[in-house]
Structures are given as C-alpha cells and as structure tokens.
Amino acid sequence: MTASRLVIRTVRYGGVWASLLAVTSLLEAGATLLLPAVLGRAVDGVLGGSRSLTWPLVYAGLVAVSMTCDALTDLSIGTGTAAATARLRHLFTRHVLRLGPSAGLPAGDLTSRAVTATADTAYAPSAAILTATAVVPPLGGVIALILLDPWLALTFGLGLPAIVALLRAFVRDTSAVVGRYLEAQGRIATRLVETLAGNRTVAAAGTAEREAARVLAPLPDLAAHGHATWRIQATISGRGTLAVPLLRVAVLAVAGYELSRGRLTAGGLLAGTQYAGLGADIGPVIAQLGRLARARAGAARLAPVLDQAPPAYGPASLPDGPGLLEFRGVSAASVLDGLDLVVPGGGAVAVVGRSGGGKSLLAALAGRLADPDDGEVLLDGVPLTSLEHGALRDAVGYAFARPALFGDTIAEAIGGDAETAARAACADAFIRRLPLGYRTPPSEAPMSGGELQRLGLARAFAHPGRVLILDDATSSLDTVTETQVGDVLTRDGRTRLIIAHRVGTAARADLVAWLDGGTVRACAPHRELWPDPEYREVFGE
Amino acid sequence: MTIRRVLTAALRRRPHALCGRARSTARCSVSDHRVRARRVLAAALRRRRRALVMFGLWSALGAVPVLVFGRSVAGATDAFLAHRTWPALAWLGALAGGAAVGAVGAARAYGPLAAIVEPFRDALVRHVVRGAVHESVRTGRADDGAVARLTQQVEIVRDTFSGLLSIASGFAFTLAGALIGLLTLMPVTLLLVVPPVVAGLGLFLGLVARSVRRQRELILAEERIAESATALAGGLRDITACGTEEAVAASAGRLIDLQAAAARSMARLAAGRTVALAVGGRLPLLLVLAAAPWLVRRGATPGVVLGSLTYVLQGLSPALATVIRGVGGSGLRLAVTLDRVMSAAEVPPVPRPSRAGGSELALCRVTYAYGPDAEPVIDDLSLRVPEGDHLAVVGPSGIGKSTLSRLAAGLLAPVRGSVTLGGVPAAEADPSVRALIPQEAYVFGGTFRENLSYLRPGASDHALDHAVAAVGATPLAERLGGLGGTVDPAALSAGERQLIALARAYVSPARLVILDEATCHLDATAEERAERAFAARPGALVVIAHRMTSARRARRVLVLDGTRAWLGAHEDLLEDCPLYRELHGHWTTEGQAPAVR
C-alpha cells in the first residue's frame, strides 16, 4: 500500500463527517463569495432610496447560511478527524501487536508513528476537502472582480505577485535562524542529560548548583538566537502589513475613478474592495496544502508498517506431550544455516556460542517470536506455525535479559501465583523492600538491571507452559543468586532452553548445544565438551 | 528569581500546589493550574512593565490602518461621487500613509514583545534545569521528562504566550480603532454595534470557561496515549512472548477511544464558538444595514454608509474572528503546559550545613527502608571505619550495598540510628571530607583537566598528572591529548569513564573514599592497580566490591545478607561465614571446570 492509497483510504474513514464537511465548506465558500455582491446591491438599494427589503433579507439569509455552515464545518473537522485518528490508531496498534518483534523498528520510531503519524494522517480527509474549497474564495474573488469591473481585476492582478513573493520569503528567511536556535537548545539539553545521568556523583560532590550553571552556560546563546527570530519576524511582518493594504488602496483608487465615471455604483465599490481581499486570501489554501503534505508524510510512515504481513497462526491445538522441541533444517537471518536440534521433553539444554552466533535468534525461533526462512520448528510433533495462538503462548514461557513489564502492579506484571514465582526467582525479598511491596507499580520501582531480570524470571516461572526459554535471563545476577535460580531451574520439570554465557549455567544443563557457523557443532553434556579447547574458548577461557 | 518568589508565595497559600509531577496531574484541580499559570504570567509581565508599555504603544500604532480605513473610504467615495478627484486621492493617500504607519508599528512591536517573552523563556529554562538537577540529586533518579519540558513544553509556552499577547493587543487596538472610527463618522452607529459585540464576547468567554475541563482532558488523554505507545513499542517482544496482544490492544484501545471522545467533545464546543462569532461579528453588520435607510434620512452620505460598513467588515469582524478562533485552545494549552513546566519542583537550594570534622566513619544501629511499609534494606547495622582503614563490602546484588554507601556519604538519612563522619552527622559534614564514586561514572563534555579537577577545583597539573598515573589512566590521557584535551563522554567506553572518575577521586581532598562498584567496567588487572593506588593513598577506603578479589585485598570485609551482617578479615570470614564462603567459592570456581554432577 502506498502512502497515497493510505491517504485515500483515510479520506474514506472520514465517512459521513467528510461528506458533511464537503457540503458545508462548499456552501460556506459559496456564501462567502456571494456576500459582497449582495451587500453591494443592498447598499445601492438603500442609497437609491428603495424601500425594498429583498436584498437586505437575502444578505441576512446568506449570513445565516454562512454561519451555520461554519459551525457545521468546525464540528465535522473536529469529529471526523477524531474518528479517523482513532481508527488509524486502532488499526496501527493492532497491526503492530500482530507483527510483534518482527515489526523490526526502534521503539522510539514506532511510538512516534503510532502517536504523531496517525494524527497527521487522520487530518487527510479534512485537508483534502478544505484544500478544494479554500480555492473557491480567491478564484471566485478574481472572477467577481473581472465581472464587476475589468480594470479592478487588472489592478489586482498587477499587485498579486508582490503578495506571493512575500509568502515565499517567510519560509526562506526563518529556517536558518530557527535552526541555530534549536541547535543552542540542543546543547543545553545534551548537558542536562549528561548531568542527570551523573546524578549520584553530583549528589555526592554537592555540586548541584555548579552543574546547573554548567548546563545553563549556552543560555545567552539561545536568547541571542531567540531575539534574532523575532527580528526576522518583524521584518517580514512589516512587509506583510504594508503589501495587502497598499493593494487595497490601489483597487480603491481605481474603483473610485470608475465610480466617478458612473461605471461602478457605491455598492460596487464596497463589493470591489471586499473581492480584492478575497482574491488575495490564498493563506488558507497554502495552509491546507501544507496539512495535506503532512498527512501524506504521515501516511508514508504508516504504510510500510501496515504493509508488513503479520505471522499467521494455524488452527491446531497442542496434544498432550512432554514438551519435545525439535528444530529441523532451520535457516534464519543468514545466521542459522540448516540447524538441527532436539530438546528432549522435560530436559534442559543450554545453548552456547560466540556472540552474534545466533543464540538469541534460536531462542526466538523456539517460541515463534520469529519464523525461520527455511526449515521448521516442532513442539511435540506439531509445527509451531500450525499452532493456534493461545495453544502456542500457553505452552511456551520466556525470560529475557531486559524484560519489559506490563501491569499496574508488580504482582500483575508477574501474573499467576506471583509470590511463589518471585520466591523461586529470588525476587521476593527485594519486592518486599519496595515502597508498596507487591502493589508497587513497575514504573515507580527503583530497580537495578539484576532486579528487573529477577522479575522477568518470576514471570517466566509463573507461566504454566510446558516449555521455558531463558534468553540470557540471568546475565545481571550475582553468582549466588544465579546459583539459587539455577537450582530452581534444575528442579523444574519443564523442557528448558537456556541461552548461556557462563560456564556454571552450561554445566548445570543436561545437554549443551554448541552453536558454531550457523549450526549445532556439538550437542552433548558439558563435561564431555569441556576438554575441547575451542569449546572452552567460547567462555573466554 | 521572580518565578520562585511567585511559586513560594503560591505555596504558602496552598501547600499542596507543588505536589510531585506524577501526583500533580491527579490531585491539583484545574483551578490550581490556572491560578498558578496566571500568577507566573502576571509576574513575567510585571517584571517587564516598560516593554509591555512599549509593546502596547507600537501595537496601537499598528492599528492605525483600521482607524483610517473607514474614514478614507467614506471621504474618497463622497469625493469621487462629487467628481472631486484630488480630495479623493488625498483620502486614499491618507489610507496609504496609515498603512505605512501601521506597518512600522506592527514591525516595531516585535522588539518589546521579544523583550517580554525571551527573558520569560530564559527564566523557564533556568527553572526546568535547576529543578531537574536538584530533583535528580535528591531522588537519585534521572527525570526522563526534563528534556521534554526543556525542549518542547518551554517552547509551547513561548509560542502560545507571545501569540496570546499579540492576539490580545491586536484585538484590543483593532476594536478600539474601529469604534473610534465609527464614533468620528457617525456616533449613533455605535448604538447598533457595541451591544452585539459585547454579547458576542460574553458568549465566547462563557464557552472558554466551559471548555477548560475538556481541553485539559484532551491534553491528558494525548499524554496517556503517548505513554502507552512508548511502553507498547518497547515491549513488543514481551507482549508476543506472553501472548497478551489482545489484552494490551484492549487497554491501548481504551485510551485511544477516550482521546477520541475528548476530541469530539472539543469539536462540539468549537462549533459553539461560531455562534459567538455570528453575534459579535455579523449581527452589527446586519443592524447597520437594516438601519441604513434611517441613517440616510438622518443625513448620512453614501460615503458614511460605506465607511461604517467598512469599519464593521474590515475591523470588527476580523478582530473578533481572530480572538475567538485564536484564544480558545491556546490559552488553556498555555496554562496547562506552563503548569507542567512549573511543577518540576524547584528545590530551593537549602544551604547544606557544612561542619568540618575528622574522617572517621561511624554507623550506630542504622536501619533504612524505602517506605514505611517496606522491609528494611539495612537493619540495625553498626560499623566503624577509622582513618587508614580499608574495608570491602560484599553481598548478593540488590542486598543494599549501594544504599549503605549512600548512607555513609550522608546522601540518605537513616530511619533509625546515626551515621557520623568525624563525630559530625554525615549529612552535615563538609562534603569534601569524603568522596563517593558510583558505578555510573560521571564524565561531562569539557576538557580532561575540568573533568579531573571536579572535586578539587584549581588542583595543580602536577597533582592531576600524578593521579592519572596512579590509577592507570596514562594511556587514556595520552589519547585524549593531555590535560587540555577535550572529553566527549559519548566517545568513551564505560571503563575509560570509570578511570576518569577514579583519577578525580584520587586527586580530591577527601579523607574517606567510597568506591561503589566504581571499577566494575575495568578488567581485573586494571581494577587491582586502581584499588591498590587508593589503598596507598592517605585516609580510609571503602570498596563496594564487584569482584570477590576486591575483598581479598581489603584489611576487613563486611558481608551483607539482608537480615544479617558479618565483619571480619578475609581468612576469618572464610571460616565463619557460609555466605562468604559461597560467594567466594562460586567466584573462584567459575573460571575452572566446575565439579561434575
């Protein structure tokens, strides 16, 4: 799906509100265009001594139409955009969740797409319609001038280029100054980040005031560039406030001359000055074009993600079984190449190998956090790809080196019998020391990397599945805790696939799968492999 | 600083106004936001009274075109109709002249506007930076929101504040110009114009008051969506692994729908603004038009009728449209955002009592817990570290070793018991008596010399060179280009950063040095060299050990195990303390082939 197609699809999301907007904004533009002419007629009638109320009433009616349409336009822009934003956000969020880790984008990037790009794109229906209708007043204004008096139109036509040149100068002049301003701001931000990261040192040294002064050192620079932005705006504004009134004076002079010649009525003069104003009113067109461009840019950021096909789950449920995990000729990401491995049901297999050798990839494949390019992974004889979503996720639990916790409290983030699981993961003691114990929200708990890891382990222990996959999940634990967790793991009757860096972890497993060159070089108990110097080298021996 | 004065004044009146950042969103009511924002803004304007007056004067000049427009149209029309071309051109000349004056006024108004807004921005930046630095020092956590406050929220305040000032003054002077113009043209028209304008403005203000709560809800809903999206994007792998896609999508979806509901309700109010605009901006025109025959009978020339209509069309209506479309959202956005910026608590730097004393560290029955309901991290611990001692602290991770180091440095106050340095409470002791080097080495952009002399400003180059050599940072110093070389923190490895922090502590005047895993990114040899350098340095040394080898080098070892603590020499502990044996055993055997099970 291209960005343009997504924009078109989004326009359809506007639904009934977009249709309403199209009608009301067009009606409003039409009324805006008719108002000066009708006012002119009404004024001429009054000045001519006519007692007819026709034109004043038509004028009042048009004002009522214009105002009603204005209100409905505001309403449909706001409501339609809100609806389209919500639909895009639902769509994008659900799609990203279906993609899971295969979305393959940095978190910050994904966040800005989910929040900002959706909102920008959702303005597409309004921007598209308003761009079309915003053309009506300036275009109609010029046509009205021609109809009213060609000389007025000519005068206007000669002055218009000045206004266009002015609007262009604005974009050109400001960007450089604004760039320098942002750069100075960035320097302050960088220093602030440095200092905040070093808060413990600053606290210990008692140098907070000195640090604040250091961070603020570029502030005079920021202020200088800030003043420069105002000076530029002053210059541009000076030109702007002069150009439009002078154009009006010129039109007025010609209109007056035509008035004195009897070729234009007083009402015509009033209408002429207003049409000149309408004709010059190209600001809204440019603004809406800008918003349309932003909507398209937003769509260009959403479309590639929405285009990715999420991994499909099959219909199969999982038969009873010991949790036998098989890799058959698995190739993935040009790292694993035709790998075969059998993890016996209820057994523990440690995976070792050089960093970058595909250990984490193997862990991801084992529970279908990624799919192989070739070959297949089976659990108790059933290919993972044919398993139904719930069946697969209920069967396989994971623990990671840097787990992300979801839930309002620590207990919720762990799930299941949180306290038992936490005790198994040696996390119970430190959780109890948190300000609200198990009720502490994860985001407010001051946690070290090791403590976070233990919560991730607890979550995995609380998982009821038949397979447990530990991807470097004990790397930040001290040796004592690791031993204790290792003992729990050894007693666990589930199938365990453990990515390991430390000798101790490998030694405790039933088998060690030694990854080398994209395949399993050997799969044997640790003590049998240890004599091999190349094996020892894997652990930095 | 004015903001602080305003803030402290506000605090005195309502002590809960400065509740923490997280709590402020929940507990501070809308009126608090507006009161605080109004006070801060009023203070900013009061401080720049002269600039405000100049801004008003130039803005008034900027409204001259509006003032002369209707009159010129009136004069020129009548002159043209009378075939008196020159007077007509004179009127048009006056209009052009007015436009020129207006352009000068509009341009010059930016100077005083900048003189109001820029210092205000400076004050906000100072507030954010000082608040964030003090807060992070107090809590020991880097405030993630500080950079967003600095780069985004302060800029929103700057833009909306200046925008509102411009709109407000533009509206006031345009309105005044049009009304004065009408007054000089035909005073009776004011009777037709003023009442609807007042009614329209009244309607508008009523709407603004009603939209405050919804606008705030909208801003908060957007923030919650951003937070949830950040968590979701960072935890995709975990969500998939736990199979909780549906639950997460549902909870994210609820926030999305809440935001949409808030946006829809704002859209309905926005539509309501049109009514105010119709009454204030369009009704006067209809009234003047309807009354035109009567005006003509009272002697209004065609020019006067045209001029009056022009004042309404080109002066009143656009002015009302600008203020009604421009102020609605941005005023509240300013109030809410400014409140966010201000709620970064500015900790007024309490002058820390600084009493000179010796360097002997003494903990007497110290207990510390992170919350009233939490179990203690340090429980009834007593300890003395005399001058010249070398103590290593070991124990499982998360057991409270870093907490102990912060207690010893006086950065945390014990719940029970006392911590003293040379007989003075640790929190009140002269900070230069002790140096605490944490695991995350602090290195800042600047010269190598500035970084090294951080704890001893003005230290001689000789002393700095000696420290660099002592901790083994000479190769790093050479690579950086000596003491005058520039340090780019991002370009250094974690180990190199630690070497800089170590040299800094070495050269400091501290008589007690606490290394809290400060060598964890060095290899074992480099760690040993650095530790031996500190051990040979005069004064006492406390090492929170990352590797058990640090304990073997120490004179005494403190073993922490949550509920219990052992203190003794390495050999004694090996015999008496099973945990120490375990810690030690695992460390030493790890390198070798473990026993076969």
Per-residue model confidence as pLDDT tens digits over A14-23? 778 999 999 9
Range list of β-strands (E), A22-180: none
* Dist. CA A499–CA B222, nearest whole Å: 40
pLDDT (0 to 100) of residue B591: 39
Cβ neighbors of B193 (< 8 A, separation 6 or more) are B179, B182, B284, B287, B288, B312, B316
Least confident span in B221-230, B281-290, B438-447: B221-230
- Of A146-155, A230-239, B546-555, highest mean pLDDT: A146-155
Interface of B with A in 62-81 (CB under 8 A): 62, 65, 72-73, 76-77, 79-81
Least confident span in A243-252, A491-500, B168-177: A243-252
Q: Which tokens belong to B6?
A: 């305003």
pLDDT (0 to 100) of residue B3: 38
Closest CA to B344 of B142, B196, B527, B483: B142
Q: Counting Cβ atoms within 10 Å, is residue B267 exposed (0-12), middle (13-18) or buried (19+)?
A: buried
pLDDT of A540 over the 70 cut: no
pLDDT (0 to 100) of residue A487: 87
Helix/strand/coil percent split, chain B, to 5: 70, 10, 20
Q: Which residue has the tokens 């701001």?
A: A185
**What is the average pLDDT score of chain B?**
84
Q: Strand, coil or helix: what is A278?
A: helix
* Dist. CA B464–CA B470, nearest whole Å: 10
In the sheet where A325-332 sits, what is the strand order?
Answer: A336-343, A325-332, A374-379, A382-383
pLDDT (0 to 100) of residue B590: 42
* Residue range B269-284, pLDDT digits in tens: 888 888 888 899 899 9
pLDDT (0 to 100) of residue B30: 45
pLDDT of B52 over the 80 cut: yes
CB of B284 within 8 Å of a chain A CB? The answer is no
pLDDT (0 to 100) of residue B29: 44
Of the residues A13, A52, A93, the best mutation for testing chain B's interface (the one with the most B CB atoms within 10 Å of its CB) is A93
* Residue range A277-288, pLDDT digits in tens: 898 887 788 888
Q: What average pLDDT does this structure show over B380-405? A: 88
Cβ neighbors of B107 (< 8 A, separation 6 or more) are A234, A235, A237, A238, A241
* Dist. CA B96–CA A253, nearest whole Å: 11
Q: Any idea of the CA torsion for A237, A241, A244, A245, to the nearest 10 degrees?
A: -170
Percent share of chain B, pLDDT over 70? 88
- φ/ψ (deg, to 5) at A316: -75, 145
- Would you place residue B328 in the very low, low, confident or very high pLDDT band (cuts 50, 70, 90)? low
> Rounded to whole angstroms, what are the CA distances from A387 to A17, A322, A327?
42, 16, 15
Beta bridge partners of B419: B363
Q: Is the ipTM of this complex over 0.90?
A: no
pLDDT of B119 over the 90 cut: yes
Interface of B with A in 469-498 (CB under 8 A): 489
pLDDT (0 to 100) of residue B35: 65
CB A2 within 8 A of CB A58: no
Q: Strand, coil or helix: what is A300?
A: helix
pLDDT (0 to 100) of residue B585: 66
Cβ–Cβ below 8 Å for A260 and B80: yes
pLDDT of B523 over the 70 cut: yes
Q: Which tokens belong to B268?
A: 């309905």
* Residue range B234-250, pLDDT digits in tens: 889 999 999 899 999 99
Interface of B with A in 405-464 (CB under 8 A): 409, 411, 431, 434-438, 440-445, 454-455
- Would you place residue A64 in the very low, low, confident or very high pLDDT band (cuts 50, 70, 90)? very high
DSSP A373-397: SEEEEEETTEEGGGB-HHHHHHHEE
Of the residues A113, A118, A252, the best mutation for testing chain B's interface (the one with the most B CB atoms within 10 Å of its CB) is A252
Residue with the larger pLDDT of the pair B213 and B362: B362
pLDDT (0 to 100) of residue A517: 86
- Would you place residue A173 in the very low, low, confident or very high pLDDT band (cuts 50, 70, 90)? low
* Dist. CA B68–CA B93, nearest whole Å: 11
CB B193 within 8 A of CB B319: no
* Dist. CA A18–CA A24, nearest whole Å: 10
Cβ–Cβ below 8 Å for B454 and A205: yes
Cβ neighbors of A231 (< 8 A, separation 6 or more) are B110, B114
Q: Which residue of B has its CA nearest to A277?
A: B314
Of the residues B23, B120, B237, the best mutation for testing chain A's interface (the one with the most A CB atoms within 10 Å of its CB) is B237
Closest CA to B77 of A316, A307, A265: A265
Q: Strand, coil or helix: what is B567?
A: strand
Percent share of chain B, pLDDT over 90? 46
Cβ–Cβ below 8 Å for A253 and B92: yes
pLDDT (0 to 100) of residue B412: 87
pLDDT of B588 over the 70 cut: no
**Minimum-distance CB partner of B136 among A98, A199, A252:** A199
pLDDT of B303 over the 60 cut: yes
Q: Strand, coil or helix: what is B9?
A: helix
Least confident span in A125-134, B92-101, B262-271, B331-340: B331-340
**What is the average pLDDT score of chain A?**
88
CA distance A381 to chain B (A): 21
CB A60 within 8 A of CB A34: no
Q: Which residues of A73-90 are buried (b: 16+ CB within 10 A; e: fewer)?
A: bbbbbbbbbbbbbbbbbb
* Residue range B419-476, pLDDT digits in tens: 999 888 888 888 888 999 988 889 998 999 999 999 999 999 999 999 999 999 999 9
Least confident span in A337-341, A465-469, B133-137: B133-137
Least confident span in A229-238, B3-12, B505-514: B3-12
CB A6 within 8 A of CB A34: no
Q: Which amino acid is at A435?
A: P
Q: Is the dihedral of CA B547, B550, B552, B555 positive or negative?
A: negative
* Residue range A436-461, pLDDT digits in tens: 889 988 877 767 777 888 999 999 99
Contacting residues of B for A196, CB less than 8 Å apart: 132-133, 136, 142-143, 146
pLDDT (0 to 100) of residue B21: 33
Q: Any idea of the CA torsion for A120, A125, A126, A128, to the nearest 10 degrees?
A: 100
pLDDT of A430 over the 90 cut: no
Cβ neighbors of A48 (< 8 A, separation 6 or more) are none
pLDDT (0 to 100) of residue B595: 37
Q: Which amino acid is at A410?
A: I
Q: Is the dihedral of CA B135, B137, B140, B142 positive or negative?
A: positive
Q: What distance lies between CA B351 and its chain's CA centroid?
A: 23
Q: What average pLDDT does this structure show over A228-233? A: 86
pLDDT of B13 over the 50 cut: no
pLDDT of B589 over the 50 cut: no
Three-class secondary structure assignment of A343-371: ECCCCEEEEECCCCCCHHHHHHHHCCCCC
pLDDT of A167 over the 90 cut: no
pLDDT (0 to 100) of residue B594: 37
Q: Strand, coil or helix: what is B348?
A: coil
What angle, rounded to 10 degrees, do the helices at B283-297 and A15-47 form? 10
Least confident span in A292-296, A391-395, B216-220: B216-220
* Dist. CA B477–CA B499, nearest whole Å: 10
pLDDT (0 to 100) of residue A166: 65
Q: Counting Cβ atoms within 10 Å, is residue A356 exposed (0-12), middle (13-18) or buried (19+)?
A: exposed
Phi/psi region, residue B446 (left: phi>0; alpha: psi -120 to 50; beta: rest), is left
* Dist. CA B15–CA B22, nearest whole Å: 16
- The kind and range of the H/E element at B574 are helix B570-576
Cβ neighbors of A62 (< 8 A, separation 6 or more) are A31, A34, A35, A38
pLDDT of B25 over the 50 cut: no
CB A106 within 8 A of CB A277: no
Q: Any idea of the CA torsion for B267, B269, B274, B279, to the nearest 10 degrees?
A: 180
* Dist. CA B315–CA B319, nearest whole Å: 6
CB atoms within 10 A of CB B475: 11
Q: What average pLDDT does this structure show over B122-134? A: 90
Q: What is the β-pairing status of strands B378-385 and B540-544?
A: unpaired
pLDDT (0 to 100) of residue B505: 95
Q: Which tokens belong to A26?
A: 């067009």
Closest CA to A64 of B264, B285, B193: B285
CB A407 within 8 A of CB A413: yes
pLDDT of A493 over the 90 cut: no
Cβ neighbors of A66 (< 8 A, separation 6 or more) are A28, A31, A32, A35
pLDDT (0 to 100) of residue B33: 52
Q: For chain B, what's the residue count?
A: 597
Cβ-Cβ pairs closer than 8 A, A with B, add up to 443
* Residue range A237-272, pLDDT digits in tens: 766 677 778 888 899 999 999 999 889 999 999 999
pLDDT of B342 over the 60 cut: yes
**Minimum-distance CB partner of B99 among A245, A259, A277:** A245
> Rounded to whole angstroms, what are the CA distances from B507 to B467, B486, B513?
6, 19, 11
- The kind and range of the H/E element at B394 are strand B390-394
pLDDT of A222 over the 80 cut: yes
Q: What is the β-pairing status of strands B361-368 and B378-385?
A: antiparallel
DSSP B301-345: -HHHHHHHHHIIIIIIHHHHHHHHHHHHHHHHHHHHHHHHHHHS-
CB of B551 within 8 Å of a chain A CB? The answer is no
Q: What average pLDDT does this structure show over A38-57? A: 89
- φ/ψ (deg, to 5) at A18: -65, -40
Beta bridge partners of B383: B363
* Dist. CA A290–CA A344, nearest whole Å: 61
